[in-house]
Structure 1
């Protein structure tokens, strides 16, 4: 599958040498178009909102605003394809939970970079070929495939290298990132926490907790943690959304 070209890229790292290394490698690929650099997380947030790059190389450890902070600040405005760059492998799991396609562990060689970039281009091509959100999600189960209607999913949570689809009393693991699923399920879902997205039609209300935070209450009675960062967006969507039949 061939990605649309040219691919726009944003490289975010507070170390000039690290940024330069990535830029040089990217310039050697004929599918790469514009390449922009940012030296801080704050710069990255502004640049992503302004340029909307196809591909983001994002350093984890940066002063004041690190890579995870960048994605939380962006919410659904983040790029569809994100590759974390880190010198510490303990961030790998959290990177996948945050929606990263892959991560580069410093120092990395050209072969590793080439494999990661190939995966990124495949993902960009896949999204370019789908103009609408799919009506069904495919879940691989032992000796069978399950086809789950998106509208039947109550909520989705990050589960290590997988995501867990909650459908009524059932739960299904799917090897997709939260960022991928958030885009696939479309506008009928909304993120309420960095590791949770929920079907708006299943939300019955918000409940104030003793901690001062709110929980999202589903029609099934399940309560899900609501991050303060996403509360205003959720309330706006709930007010604007039509009542379910």
Structure 2
């Protein structure tokens, strides 16, 4: 499987710090720098406009710090984050907001490369989650799911499923006015559903494309999918390009 290139956004109020980041990234040919920002406000606009996969983020900047930027965004819709800062005392807080790594300035190339190894492991995992896999590797996908409820099993034709949401190590399968809790991870279920009919629109949501009525672009870069029954579901920025292609949206 070909892994997509990482698209990175550099956020630091010091131009020399951004130059140092570019130099450190020069040895990583699979990363493209798509933009640079000098403050939190610019970064918020750039994230919405550019949909980067990776964010190199300073902490102390004019007009707000890096933590403010992250807390103002939906955590499930953020790029991968590596903090790059001259201050060592924020490391615990950085990992509380699910940063991949925390690199101190001035940047040491070996330490930076270690951070990039972590980034790429996470990125490769995300790409595997989005791949068009099949149940048996021969293009054969499941037609029915058997869900245990109380003392009986309910057999659900896959074509009847409207949408599915992850619930820890379970999934909640929505079929019309009913929903069923099924012991299976969303990742594994995605591998068994036909990608010509089912689309992942969020880290925790898969939807039957035949049920989609509309796609709405909302304020501050947010978007949603509206189903024929009126159900509204978040369309994550990470999955937006794939959704456009699958749904034929220009």
Q: Into which bin does the TM-score normalised by the smaller protein fall?
A: 0.5 to 0.7
Moved more, 87-96 or 69-78: 69-78
Deviation at 1:103, TM superposition (A): 0.8
TM-score by length of 2: 0.53
Task: Please list, as runs of the form range in 1=range in 2, the aligned pairs for 1:114-129 lying within 5 A after superposition.
Answer: 114-129=113-128
For the structure 1 residues 73 and 50, does the alpha-carbon distance in structure 2 shift closer, same or farther, using more than 3 Å as the test? same
2:89 match: 90
Alignment of 1:118-157 (within 5 A): 118-131=117-130, 148-149=169-170
Is residue 12–residue 59 contact of structure 1 (8 Å, CA) maintained in 2? yes
Q: Once the 2 structures are TM-superposed, how far is the Cα of residue 131 of structure 1 from its aligned partner?
A: 2.8
Q: How far apart in 1 are the matches of 2:60 and 2:47?
A: 18
Verify: 1:80 aligned to 2:79, yes or no. yes
Match of 1:57 in 2: 56
Name the residue aligned to 1:169.
none
- 1:39–1:3 distance in 2 versus 1, CA, 3 Å: farther
CA distance in 2, matches of 1:78, 1:68: 15
Q: CA contact under 8 A between 1:48 and 1:78: conserved in structure 2?
A: no
1:206 aligns to what?
none
| Displacement of 1:150 | 5.3
Q: 1:123 and 1:3 mapped to 2: Cα distance?
A: 15
1:106 Cα shift?
A: 1.7
Cα pair distance change 1:88/1:38, threshold 3 Å: same
* Structure 1 residue 98 displacement after superposition: 1.2
Q: What is the CA-CA distance between 1:33 and the residue it aligns to?
A: 2.1
SS of residue matched to 1:74: coil
Equivalent-residue separation in structure 1 for 2:125 and 2:37 (angstroms): 27
1:35 aligns with 2:56: no
Measured in 1, the distance between the counterparts of 2:116 and 2:165 equals 25
Deviation digits for residues 197-232 of structure 1 (CA, Å, limit 9, x no counterpart): xxxxxxxxxxxxxxxxxxxxxxxxxxxxxxxxxxxx
1:124 alignment partner, SS class:
helix
Paired position in structure 2 for 1:45: 44
Aligned-pair RMSD on alpha carbons? Answer: 3.2
Runs of at least 4 residues off by over 4 Å: 132-137
Partners of 1:24 and 1:110 lie apart in 2 by 9
Distance (whole Å) between structure 1 residues aligned to residue 77 and residue 119 of structure 2: 15
- SS of the aligned residue for 2:98 comes to coil
1: CA distance, partners of 2:2 / 2:81: 15
Using the TM superposition, give the Cα deviation of residue 79 of structure 1 relative to its aligned residue in structure 2, in angstroms.
3.0
1:69 pairs with 2:68 = yes
Cα separation, 2, equivalents of 1:114 and 1:89: 19
In the alignment, what sits opposite 2:14?
15
CA distance in 1, matches of 2:83, 2:16: 16
The 3-state SS of whatever aligns with 2:10 is strand
Alpha carbons 1:84, 1:95 under 8 Å: kept: yes
Unaligned runs of 5+ in 1: 138-147, 152-182, 188-238
Counterpart position of 1:102: 101
